[in-house]
Amino acid sequence: MDGVIALFKERGMTSHDCISKLRKILHTKKVGHTGTLDPNVDGVLPICIGQATKISDLMMRSGKVYRGAITLGIAYDTEDLDGKVINQQPIERPFTASQIDHALSKLTGNIQQIPPMYSAVKVNGHKLYEYARKGLSVERHPREIHITYFKQIKPTIFDNERRTQTIYFEVACSKGTYVRTLAVDFGKLLGVPAVMSDLTRIKSGGFDLSQCVTLAQVNTAVENDTLDEVLRPLSEALRHYPVYSLDETRWKIVSNGGFLDESINKEQQPIVRLDYQGIVKALYQFDQKVGQYRPFKMFLLN
């Protein structure tokens, strides 16, 4: 039982809840996620099972895509709707599509972002949300993130009674990006308070919503002995890496953790997937110092 389940995490559940439930459903402790999702966010949460837990860090590095909504005219301490209102400023005149697009464009490329107080980032051995819950604020250092694109996906809605304006967006971003904070920073560019009012992750770890299954579907698959229909093999999870098929001689070298010469990939790409008899056996990484490929991730599946 080795592979990746592209799980659809439902709202109201933590990522840890999903791990705990899957361990019980699959009767295994070797289960790990590829990046947490807040309880009020749903969407793609790839789950690594068995030998695939060795690549969870690689999957976490991959870019993510979200769709959601930002409401202008109101701000919350948590930067989403789970917290308390800390600021309100009526939107007297709706922002135009061009004004919105201009502000969104300023939040693309490599930018600096300060992690929110309500986050799991650790400062002096404690998570930021632990300070926040005590009413404390601590110094946070900005981090560089990359936003591939940040765009509107449908017309805004202006609430004339509440004097708020909601925009609908899609964003492709790097690991470590807080979309909640992007929403707040977007509001700052327009000079108004803002809150992330809705969010769904539509792509992560190379998987998208169309490939996702629910916990109930995984449970049914186990009961019907059809787990292979929902458990994606390592070869699919690692499909983006160049592949080299090992012969008998090189398989013996790899099975003993030996190095391979650069002929397995003449372009000297950083990481190469090694298959033997159609089964993923390892990932090898190019070592510039010795000019050879060395073991990076070993699976050695039967």
Q: Considering 38, 42, 80, 185, which one is annotated as catalytic?
A: 38
The whole-number pLDDT of residue 285 equals 95
- Give the whole-angstrom CA distance, residue 190 versus residue 197: 17
Helix (H, G, I), strand (E, B) or coil at 279: strand
Task: Tell me what the mean pLDDT of segment 231-255 comes to.
Answer: 94
Q: Which of 202, 211, 212 is nearest to 172 (CA)?
A: 202
Task: Tell me what the mean pLDDT of segment 32-55 comes to.
Answer: 90
The whole-number pLDDT of residue 141 equals 85
Give residue 76's pLDDT band: very low, low, confident or very high (50, 70, 90). very high
Is-above-0.85 flag for pTM?
yes
**What is the chain's mean pLDDT, rounded?**
92
Active site residue 159: no
Report whether pLDDT(252) > 70: yes
Report whether pLDDT(80) > 80: yes
List Cα–Cα distances, 182 to 51, 107, 137, 177, 298, in angstroms: 35, 8, 19, 8, 38
Report whether pLDDT(243) > 60: yes
- pLDDT by residue (tens digit) across 175-227? 889 999 999 999 999 999 999 999 999 999 989 999 999 999 999 999 999 99
The whole-number pLDDT of residue 32 equals 86
The whole-number pLDDT of residue 301 equals 60
213 or 56, which is more confident: 213
Report whether pLDDT(302) > 60: no
Burial of 198 (0-12, 13-18, 19+ CB in 10 A): middle
